[in-house]
Amino acid sequence: MKAYSLDLRERVLKDAQAGLATSAVAAKYSVSPAWVRRVKQRAAAGQFGPKSQRRGPVPAAERFADQIRAAVREAPDATLDEYRQRFGLPLSRATLARALVTLGLSRKKSRSGPASRTGRM
């Protein structure tokens, strides 16, 4: 759900400060009385705008994005375990794999053996 606009918040506060009852303000602007009370409380605390919608911890792809990009740039053919050990990334293999996908990074594997004589490579 999107947050109500700052313009609506200003109008609600203006009417509430003019002496209009909370339920009357809520009915006038088609919002709940609880929301009007919360807007007044946040304005009194000096926080007029909407709250942040982010909940929970910051994903690893965002926290370690620069380190992961540098690791892939330096060693594009490393395995996930090598990234973790050599570059000191404090992530599990699964988390690192998800972070690579989220960041749009691909790992280019180098061939470890000679080309096959019978099959196409």
CB 96 within 8 A of CB 59: no
Q: Which of 9-23, 43-57, 68-82 has the lowest mean pLDDT?
A: 43-57
20 pLDDT tier (thresholds 50, 70, 90): very high
Q: Are residues 66 and 94 in the same domain?
A: yes
Domain assignment of residue 73, yes or no: yes
pTM (two decimals): 0.49
**Residue 95 and residue 68 share a domain:** yes
**Structural domain boundaries, residue 25:** 6-44
Q: What is the DSSP letter of 51?
A: P
- Give residue 36's pLDDT band: very low, low, confident or very high (50, 70, 90): very high
The pLDDT confidence band at residue 87, using thresholds 50, 70 and 90, is confident
- Read off the amino acid at residue 107: R
Query: Which tokens is 110 given?
Result: 């180098």
**Is 108's pLDDT higher than 80?**
no
Total tally of structural domains belonging to the chain? 2
